[in-house]
Amino acid sequence: MPSGLYLITDDNSDGSLFKRVESALKGGVRTVQYRAKEATADERFGMAQKLRKACHAAGAKLIINDFPELAKEIDADGVHLGQDDMSVSQARQMLGRDKIIGVSTHSVDQALKAESHGADYIALGSIFPTSSKDAPELVGIDALRKVRRAIRVPLVAIGGIDITGADLAIDAGADAVAVISSVMQDRSPGIAAREISLLFNRKLGRPRGRVLTIAGSDCGGGAGIQADLKTISLLGSYGSCVITALTAQNTLGVKGVFPIDSNFVTEQLNAVLDDIGTDTIKTGMLSWGGTVTRVAQAIRRHCLLAVVDPVMIAKGGAPLLDKEALDSLLSQMLPQAYLLTPNLPEAEKITGTKVRNLAEMEEAGRLLQDLGARNVLMKGGHLINDDAVDLLLIGDAKHELRSPRIETKNTHGTGCTYSSAIATFLAQGLPLLKAVEEAKKFIDLSIITAVESGKGHGSVNHVEAAFRYFHEHRS
């Protein structure tokens, strides 16, 4: 039965429909509804066959919209019927008892009727406004809640659904959310599909979601892989890791760096991704260009949401990224970054511009988006003002995240902890804005509760921050 992300196809006017659906399947689509009223019978048959093969290879279902004869002919998984189409019983007689039959509805009464007639799932819409000329009248999120309470079969929310609407629909009880343009018209259908499909992870038990951190080892335990795994585990997700470099460091600074051969980095990546898998990736210190390229390729191949922390300089000033790695970061990694999280010196290094205030933060962030990053979090800890202000750029929108500045030298591991917390909340089913807001609460708590450790910049306090977060701050 439909659950998770339900993709409805659009037209194939530019011939790219199959390629876009194939990308979306990599991003986690669980059901594809093939809709092609304007196509010829031969075109529908050929495309439906290709889609069936691709769906089944990805472990997804193919539902044919409005054409039960075509569904039978290609042995699709089921058919979707409108209010004016044949009855559920007629479709059942044509397709057989083992096929899925869904029905579009616009009210509680229609949903109850369809369920009583034997529908396997109910689609309700339009939940939100949509530009489609064929869209039914708006029913809204309250109607979704009422239908959820009234029926027992799976419920699919449909109509005008983007990441924000999907977030609301899932909380209102939808078992699946149906999308069209928010995935099919995105420049990266796979990533658009992935960010919506991950929202359903909120229904999982603990550990909730999987996070893979790809970074260097900090033997002092305050930053790098060690800080990432502490954060991921304490916040309730499953953490795995790929080590890109070994460092000899403590609170006084980095004493030495031993890069891991990029071939062995690839072996680690394959070992995790081919077996355990992951929902999100967090990258930190990538050391040199060969490693950056291998990691970027893996993110692209598996169509994963990557939180990229462009670690360049250690707290004590030691360089952690050579020129080859910087070039690879710009050309290979930035286009794969779902969220790039630079501090201001890192943003200046990448863009070649000065960043001294909020306006310049936005300007630099937009330049980073132009270089390929899908979304950017400009961390404003280096600004000279009373508040610590971060600027989150999600597409064309911007969001300011403010918190009181905390005067302390014990900030070792803040960047690693912040970015891994964001990746964790994404893996747990929060949309990006909420994930960043919750991560900022966590990182603020970890700085506030930091204790002296060593003679230099002490580490933030992951344990106390997690305790306070879950007892006091979780919204």
Whether 423 and 294 map to the same domain: the answer is yes
Q: How far is C-alpha 57 from the chain's CA centre?
A: 22
Whether 172 and 246 map to the same domain: the answer is no
CATH number of 450's domain = 3.40.1190.20
What's the total number of domains in the chain?
A: 2
User: Catalytic annotation on 231?
Assistant: no
Q: Which of 203, 237, 253 is the last residue of a domain?
A: 203
Would you give the end-to-end CA distance of the chain in angstroms?
Answer: 32
Residue linked to tokens 């970015």 = 419
Whether 55 and 178 map to the same domain: the answer is yes
| 58, pLDDT greater than 80 | yes
Give the per-residue pLDDT at 329: 84
Give the per-residue pLDDT at 317: 53
Residues 373-394 have a mean pLDDT of 88
Give the per-residue pLDDT at 38: 84
Nearest to 265 by CA among 236, 295, 304: 295
Question: Which of 26, 416, 424, 429 is flagged as catalytic?
Answer: 416
Residues 241-245 have a mean pLDDT of 96
Give the per-residue pLDDT at 456: 84
Question: Which of 411, 417, 440, 458 is flagged as catalytic?
Answer: 411
User: Catalytic annotation on 317?
Assistant: no
Whether 234 and 190 map to the same domain: the answer is no
| 403, pLDDT greater than 70 | yes
Q: Which of 140, 173, 203 is the last residue of a domain?
A: 203
d(CA 112, CA 461): 53
**Structural domain harbouring 295:** 210-473
d(CA 73, CA 70): 5
Residues 345-361 have a mean pLDDT of 91
Whether 127 and 111 map to the same domain: the answer is yes
Residue linked to tokens 């799976």 = 154
Q: How far is C-alpha 356 from the chain's CA centre?
A: 30
Please list, in sequence order, all residues whose beta carbon lies within 8 angstroms of the beta carbon of residue 427, skipping any fewer than 6 positions away: 198, 201, 208, 209, 210, 211, 237, 278, 279, 280
Q: How far is C-alpha 163 from the chain's CA centre?
A: 10
Query: For residue 258, what are the CA distances in angstroms to 155, 220, 338?
Result: 53, 15, 28
Whether 54 and 147 map to the same domain: the answer is yes
Region of poorest pLDDT, from 83-97, 125-139, 165-179, 197-211: 125-139
pLDDT, greater one: 130 or 355: 355
Which amino acid is residue 471, in one-letter code? H
| 136, pLDDT greater than 90 | no
User: Catalytic annotation on 31?
Assistant: no
Whether 394 and 327 map to the same domain: the answer is yes
**Tally: H helices and E strands in the chain:** 18, 17
| 435, pLDDT greater than 90 | yes
Helix (H) / strand (E) element for 300: namely helix 289-302
Confidence of residue 410 (pLDDT cuts 50, 70, 90): confident
Question: Which of 414, 424, 441, 458 is flagged as catalytic?
Answer: 414
pTM, two decimals, is: 0.94
| 44, pLDDT greater than 70 | yes
Question: Which of 146, 230, 282, 379 is flagged as catalytic?
Answer: 379
Whether 184 and 220 map to the same domain: the answer is no
Please state, as a whole number, how many other Cβ atoms lie within 10 Å of the Cβ of residue 145: 15
Whether 180 and 251 map to the same domain: the answer is no
Strand ordering across the sheet containing 238-250:
253-259, 238-250, 210-218, 280-283, 305-308, 339-340, 375-378, 387-394, 397-404
User: Catalytic annotation on 414?
Assistant: yes
Query: 277-328: per-residue pLDDT in tens?
Result: 999 999 999 978 889 999 999 999 999 999 999 987 655 555 556 667 778 8
Whether 184 and 245 map to the same domain: the answer is no
Whether 185 and 264 map to the same domain: the answer is no
Residues 209-216 have a mean pLDDT of 97
Region of poorest pLDDT, from 31-35, 134-138, 190-194, 213-217: 134-138
Question: Which of 28, 125, 413, 458 is flagged as catalytic?
Answer: 413
Whether 218 and 183 map to the same domain: the answer is no
Question: Which of 78, 239, 380, 415 is flagged as catalytic?
Answer: 415
CATH number of 187's domain = 3.20.20.70
Beta-strand ranges (E) seen in 369-411 are 375-378, 387-394, 397-404
Q: Which of 148, 178, 203 is the last residue of a domain?
A: 203
Structural contact between residues 272 and 212, judged by C-beta atoms closer than 8 angstroms? yes
Residue 410: strand, helix, or coil: coil
